[in-house]
Amino acid sequence: MPPHTQPPPKPTNKTPNNKHAPALTFALAGNANVGKSVIFNQLTGSSQIIGNWPGKTIDRAEGTLNFEGHNIKIIDLPGIYSFSTFSMEEIVSRDYIALEKPHAVINVVDASVLERNLFFTLQLIEMHAPLVLCLNQVDVAKNKGMLIDKDKLQTALGIPVILATAIRGEGIYDVVREAVKVATHKQNPPTLKYRQPIEEKINQLQQLITKENLDLQYPPRWLAIKLLEGDSEITPLIANKSPPIVETSKQIAAELEHNCQEPCFSLIASERYALANQITATALQQSERTNTLSDKLEWLTTHKIWGYLTAIGVIAGLLLWTFFIGNTLSGIITNVLNFIYPVDPTLTTELPLLTILLNGLWGGFSAGLTLIIPFVIPFYLLLAFIEDSGILTRVAFMMDSAMHKMGLHGKALIPIILGYGCNVPAIQACKIMETRRERLLAAFAITFAPCSARTLILFGMVGLFVGIQWALLLYVIDIAVIFALGRIAMKAVPGKSTGLIMELSNFKLPSLKVVLKQTWTRTKSIIYVVFPIYLVGSTLIQAAYALNILSPLSEALAPLTVWWLGLPAFAGVLLILGTIRKEFVLIGAVAILSTTNLLVGFTPVQLVILALVAMLYLPCVSTIAILGKEFGWKAAAIISVANIGAALIIGGIAFRLISLFVPV
């Protein structure tokens, strides 16, 4: 094993030493969940979200690196298993590598699943991509008793191979250095031969394509293979240039299929795997493996009783941890703020404008600081930990049959759980689902998932002033609502559901650095972007309230708020504000009441009902926007109306039910 003495290259913003050095472009490509984003972040110093579940890089990410005088643009491609044309990511990655021709392609490979990863490497070699193989996670492989002979692998594949443990920065320097070498010294790409009779047919077709000189960006051998596979993109492309070639390829394919009694696409996949298997056998030495902690966790999380209990425990733990840490922090901050400047609702100065400004700004600031920040930070911290640990795919595995009742399969649970953080990236993550129907159903379920803003409303309104058990009850109700409405939506959207095909990720101890960085990335956006909005928003609300602009609005909504939901009239304004950002329900209440003690303006029952309605009633503006972008405005409108309807019906019923037991 070569020593990894060299430190990882530091991303710098310094001007390059040699200003005339040509700009290089490197692409990171490989299977899902092999650590491409980890390497990308280390190279570019950016903070792409990392998670231990397949499919989180949706669109390609770009960053820059300055390495020994070279200006390098790094592209992080989404993780794929193959270059067939069945998913958008595969087409995007394939076209990027073939048509935009990056100077080097760094193929990141999970050393512990070498054979499966090499299947993709072989396709990159077929495409004549200028390759460097980054054999990542050698530490995981070693724990599994796998030793990989780098030199043998290098010889077998004909491309440079670097061993790396990206999470610790080991081997990254060598990978970049090797990629620069590949990019600057053009070499003839290797050709790996398949067995007869397939090799012979590929050759025959390849010669035909070379002779015809089709003037396509793709290498002839690759085109030949794709034609035999009957690729739905490449075949019409060639048919445009030269129909006879397609005809010949069909004949050859039919001949092969007849001789081997097997469809061609299956034959070629088998051939590639046979080669991958053979190469793996020469380079990999498997010794006895011991039962690792990861095995025990696997056993626990997929056990028929413990598995479900851990899944529930993880969610409940996330909430309880958020509440107790948040509550403690919130108490401390409130005390500090009171010490500096006690919030006084009766405070009046001679100048009404100054009062509004002072109360508004201070109210927004203290509401953000006492009710939001203390809860958001521990929440994101634990969510990043959960995302990174690898438990998500196990929960998806265990919950598959339950998700089928909603017309989805287990994988949909991953975006839904991410929806607990924020609906917007969660809806984007719905891309891991296979069909539009499933993406739509999952997105619909996500709009009810209690995102961190809704969690804040629950904790800030109900948990703090009514009792944590009520906040948790609302959570349980929310999950029941997701399930019930998911079932209705399944019936409403016609179509069939596909089955679950998902790679289960390995358990690992999340790296503290990654978790902290992730938490900071998410919290940062709240502090930088949202906090100023709080301050301004809170002041405007106070001003509008003082100037009596809001009362007509409140009165117009009174039948709904006062009669149907039993809320004070000004709650209507809060709910409207909440469509901008859900936290505004909370901030608005603080601004209007001019105190952080919400019991001044609400009874406990009203707080519970308001929180329930606020949780369900309408996705915030950003969520509606992303729904519109992903599914069209019609779908976004329908989902929004469904949300409002559900919230009003459930809120009204809940109010009447609670009124039976508790006098309002």
Partner 1 sequence: MTKKLTQDCIKTIYTLTKNENYASNEKITQKLNLTTTNLTEILQELTQEGHINYSPTNGSTLTQKGLREAQKITSNRYRLTKFLNHTIHNKNKNDKTQPQTPPQSSSNPPACSNNSANCVLSNCENCLKQHPQGFEEIGKHNKNLTSLYELKAGKTAKISSIRGERKILQRLLDLGLTPGTQIKVAKIAPMGGPVEILVRGSKLALGQNIAINIFVETPKETPPPNEV
Nearer to partner 1, 499 or 559 (CB): 499
Among 199, 233, 262, 344, binds partner 1 (CB under 8 A): 262
For partner 1, the binding residue among 20, 186, 258, 634 (CB under 8 A) is 258
Site for partner 1 in 596-655 (CB under 8 A): none
Q: Does 499 bind partner 1 (CB under 8 A)?
A: yes
The closest of 374, 380, 375 to 337, measured between CA atoms, is 374
Q: What is the DSSP string of 73-107?
A: EEEEPPP-S---SSSHHHHHHHHIIIII--SEEEE
Least distance between partner 1 and beta carbon 342 (Å): 56
Q: Closest separation between CB of residue 398 and partner 1, Å?
A: 6
CB 121 within 8 A of CB 108: no
Of 183-191, 257-265, 344-352, 416-424, the window that binds partner 1 (rule: CB under 8 A) is 257-265
Q: Which of 191, 401, 469, 597 binds partner 1 (CB under 8 A)?
A: 401
Q: Encoding tokens for residue 415? A: 């975006």
Is residue 115 within the footprint of partner 1 (CB under 8 A)?
A: yes
Q: Which is nearer to partner 1, 84 or 539 (CB)?
A: 84
Q: For partner 1, which is the closer residue by CB, 413 or 616?
A: 413
> Judged by CB, which is closer to partner 1: 41, or 393?
393
Q: Is 607 helix (H, G, I), strand (E, B) or coil?
A: helix
Stretch that binds partner 1, among 37-45, 398-406, 477-485, 529-537 (CB under 8 A): 398-406
Least Å distance, CB 501 to partner 1, is 6
Q: Which residue's CB is nearer to partner 1, number 340 or number 501?
A: 501
- What's the min distance (Å) between Cβ of 394 and partner 1? 9
User: Distance between CA 501 and CA 85 in Å, rounded?
Assistant: 17
DSSP SS3 for 505: coil
Build a one-symbol-per-residue string for 62-81: x at contacts with partner 1 by CB under 8 A, - elsewhere.
-------------------x
Show Cβ contacts of residue 244 under 8 Å, excluding neighbours closer than 6 positions. none
Q: Which of 185, 304, 491, 634 binds partner 1 (CB under 8 A)?
A: 304
Does an H or E element contain 281, and which?
Answer: helix 264-283
Q: 21, 500, 553, 599: which one contacts partner 1 (CB under 8 A)? A: 500
Of the two residues 177 and 404, which places its CB atom closer to partner 1 in the complex?
404
Smaller CB separation from partner 1, 264 or 590? 264
d(CA 91, CA 99): 11
Q: Do the beta carbons of residue 596 and residue 334 sit within 8 Å?
A: yes
By CB under 8 A, is residue 86 in contact with partner 1?
yes
The structure tokens listed for 63 are 């960053």
Q: Please state, in angstroms and rounded to a whole number, the distance separating the CA atoms of residues 373 and 40.
A: 29
Distance of alpha carbon 148 from alpha carbon 416, whole angstroms: 38
Which residues in 543-582 contact partner 1 (CB under 8 A)? Answer: none
Q: What value does the CA radius of gyration of the chain take, rounded to a whole number of Å?
A: 29
328 binds partner 1 (CB under 8 A): no
Is there binding between residue 6 and partner 1 (CB under 8 A)? no
Per-residue contact flags (x/-) with partner 1 for residues 354 to 393, judged by CB under 8 A: ---------------------------------------x
Measured between alpha carbons, how far is 383 from 500 in angstroms, rounded to an integer?
24
Q: Which of 189, 263, 425, 628 binds partner 1 (CB under 8 A)?
A: 263
Q: Which stretch binds partner 1 (CB under 8 A): 364-372, 493-501, 532-540, 621-629?
A: 493-501
Q: What angle do CA 492, 497, 500 make, to 5 degrees?
A: 145
Smallest gap from Cβ 93 to partner 1, in A, equals: 13
Q: What are phi and psi of 255, to 5 degrees?
A: -60, -45
Cα 437 to Cα 489: distance, rounded to the nearest angstrom: 10
**Interaction residues for partner 1, span 407-446 (CB under 8 A):** 409-410
25 DSSP β-pair partners = 73
Quote the CA–CA distance of 394 and 301 in Å, as a whole number: 7
- Out of 96, 265, 520, 531, the only residue in the binding site for partner 1 (CB under 8 A) is 265
Distances (CA, A) of 436 to 82, 205, 487, 616: 21, 37, 17, 24
| Contact between 137 and partner 1 per CB under 8 A | no
- DSSP code, position 112: G
Which is closer to partner 1, CB of 273 or CB of 365?
A: 273
Candidates 155, 213, 266, 659: give the one binding partner 1 (CB under 8 A).
Answer: 266
CA of 153: how far to CAs of 115, 158, 276, 442, 608, in Å? 12, 8, 11, 42, 63
- Asked if 116 interacts with partner 1 (CB under 8 A), we say yes
Residue 544 near residue 550 (C-beta atoms within 8 A): yes
Count residues contacting partner 1 (CB under 8 A)?
42
| DSSP β-ladder status, 284-286 and 146-148 | antiparallel
With beta carbons less than 8 A apart as the criterion, state whether 450 and 458 touch. Answer: yes
| 206 touches partner 1 (CB under 8 A) | no
Contact 371, 327 (CB under 8 A): no
Among 473, 504, 533, 635, binds partner 1 (CB under 8 A): 504
Enter the tokens of residue 375: 């809860």
In angstroms, what is the minimal distance from the CB of 109 to partner 1? 12
Which amino acid does the sequence have at 251?
Answer: Q
Looking at the Cβ atoms of 276 and 445, the one nearer to partner 1 is 276
Residue from 73, 257, 531, 638 binding partner 1 (CB under 8 A): 257
HSE, side-chain direction, 13 A CA sphere, residue 81: 12
**Interface with partner 1 includes 84 (CB under 8 A)?**
yes
Binder among 96, 273, 321, 531 for partner 1 (CB under 8 A)? 273
Q: DSSP readout, 391-436?
A: HHHHHHHHTHHHHHTTT--GGGHHHHHHTTT-HHHHHHHGGGSSSH
Q: Which of 15, 196, 261, 290 binds partner 1 (CB under 8 A)?
A: 261
Looking at 66-74, 113-121, 559-567, 608-616, which segment touches partner 1 (CB under 8 A)?
Answer: 113-121
Q: In whole angstroms, how close is the CB of 56 to partner 1 at the nearest point?
A: 17
Position 112 contacts partner 1 (CB under 8 A): yes
Q: Tell me whether residue 85 is exposed, middle or buried, using C-beta atoms within 10 angstroms of its C-beta: 0 to 12, 13 to 18, 19 or more.
A: middle
| Residue 15 interacts with partner 1 (CB under 8 A): yes or no | no
Output 222 or 448, the one with its CB closest to partner 1: 222
CA pseudo-torsion sign 536, 538, 543, 545? positive
Give residues in contact with partner 1 (CB under 8 A): 81-82, 84, 86, 112-116, 119, 254, 257-258, 261-263, 265-266, 269-270, 273, 277, 302, 304, 393, 396-398, 400-402, 404, 409-410, 496, 498-504
